[in-house]
Structure 1
């Protein structure tokens, strides 16, 4: 996570350096029939940009775009800081062991790196939903057959972003067997999340089953 924080900080610094050399002001444009007019505001004043000053318009648009990206990166930086602060309270959290080679050596034979654990979890066999296997007709990039095109899109996205998951894996809750659409492991913390797609809520029987699951 420290590496991710450093990457974000580097990107923030790079964007800020690009913004600093651009003209100040906030660009906007208006449309009159088929023609556009360019304006920008600076220090409370609105100024018109003639087409002959296209370079200025391009620079101001670039500034606005980069500032938008910068805001998002700073939000990401804050989330990382919150995460790091939370895990700094526990010296032997998975995060600290992952980041501390010496602790890993001392825990040899006991500690399993999270990446290894997640790889083993993904590749291990598990009990699938046995209901209506004939409806598993939609192919996905990792080769898993699913029941709908939207589920295929979700699996493809999870796979492409290297997020560990299982499809319709058995989950026991209060002696009740259910099969969440997706069981997902956080790639950094290993935490488990259950994702129900709820893709057929207009079907009465489907909606009833969903309601029953939510009561568990």
Structure 2
């Protein structure tokens, strides 16, 4: 799997922000720490600087106990956060998600022919997935003939633009591979990919006539069906939109490919 290192690096960024915020908060907090004792089921607060028992804080002083308690919390967050950051950095320093796979792929070809890897390599999985046959959606008679650089027939010029992008980037895809959605039936995503990060299928839907009311309604309904089946935009569903005034943006395509498919 190609998940763990990425998850750890994301957690590292998250912890770094938390520790930075906690340290910023500490810079304005009062000296010492808070000691609490219970007297007749009521808390008594003390500010401890040098004296372990501390100085009693009068009951009408509400802000100082709160700030001292916050200070103690921030210090604990910093301590725990920095401990975790050291652990993450130690793990990720020499860790690679595909280090087991590399044992096989680093062999020369003659040796690879003699070895069966315990787990299929990414290339083997991708090739197997790509070579699985499927029955796509049929083209109605009279539909314009639009061919991609790959020589594949698609339904629109925008789909050709997308398919050609994928082809030039050597990204394998399946055009209009059927997908069963519970509670609805079969849909035909414009493009289906196999994710190297999750080994799950990712779907790309291009909604090209969003300024047409009936088309837009159907597009929204289809996206809802994906979500009902736990396939969410930004996770396993990529969506691009287009109207007559707002055509397909090549920069957005490149960014989406970089984020999800490479």
* TM-score, with length taken from structure 2: 0.42
Structure number with higher relative contact order (C-alpha < 8 Å, ≥ 6 residues apart): 2
Query: In terms of Rg, which structure is larger?
Result: 2
* TM-score, with length taken from structure 1: 0.49
